[in-house]
Structure 1
């Protein structure tokens, strides 16, 4: 199935979860926020939230700086 992650098309297997999509994009485990189709997905449900064909996923990571 095809999903869009941060504006780029990605081919992922059926049944891919939000947690797996995050792992594709970043190795960070803290400071990460996710929205699927403009709805925030809480970290506690990433592993149990499956993606569907044509979902739009935004993965944001916190960046330190000044």
Structure 2
């Protein structure tokens, strides 16, 4: 067993340390500490959704969801506009 896994993140291959949870991934991408319920420690909003292999992972489950070799992860960001 290696110390890394390979996933596809928004269409691009990425190597991650093993184990990595969905919460770990999002926290690293947005550069914020995230609580176990999926909200930023600083009280701000993330405005993102995460799906693994086409299934949306609810924010409160991010800390329990461990990413595995070959997972396809999509992260989308909400934007405002007019």
TM over 0.5: yes
Answer 1 or 2: higher relative contact order, Cα 8 Å, separation at least 6.
1
Partner of 1:8: 12
RMSD, matched Cα: 1.5
- Counterparts of 1:10 and 1:37, CA distance in 2: 15
Query: Which has the larger displacement, 28-37 or 49-58?
Result: 28-37
TM-score, L = length of structure 2: 0.72
Unaligned runs of 5+ in 2: 33-44
Q: Highest Rg: 1 or 2?
A: 2
TM-score, L = length of structure 1: 0.88
